[in-house]
Amino acid sequence: MSEEHKRVMQRFEERLARLEALRHEMPARWQIFHLHNALSALPHDHSTADLHLDEFDRHELAKEYPELEADKVPTVEEIRARFDNLAGGML
């Protein structure tokens, strides 16, 4: 097993342990989703698994790196406002 693969395996184990510790607090659905996707990719493509773990960590990283806020998912209201501006009475 390559060092990179070992690093991703360790990273996965740490995230899984964190979710297990939160079991009674119900971890967020997106955390479980990204961890599940990382697990699915892990046997065949550790690079893809690493990307899913990046997504898992994005919330915590955004606190440390505010520039990641540009990657935040807009609210439905924000999408509606942008669409209304774009449509500009065309509909």
- Tell me the average confidence (pLDDT) per consecutive run of 10 residues in the chain, 91 residues long: 87 88 76 89 90 83 68 76 78 55
pTM, whole model, 2 decimals? 0.61
Residue-level pLDDT at 70: 54
* Distance between CA atoms of residues 91 and 85, nearest Å: 11
Query: How is the chain split into domains, by residue range?
Result: 3-87
pLDDT at site 89: 62
DSSP 66: G
Residues 71, 87: Cα–Cα separation, whole Å:
24
Question: CB–CB of 42/8 below 8 Å?
Answer: yes
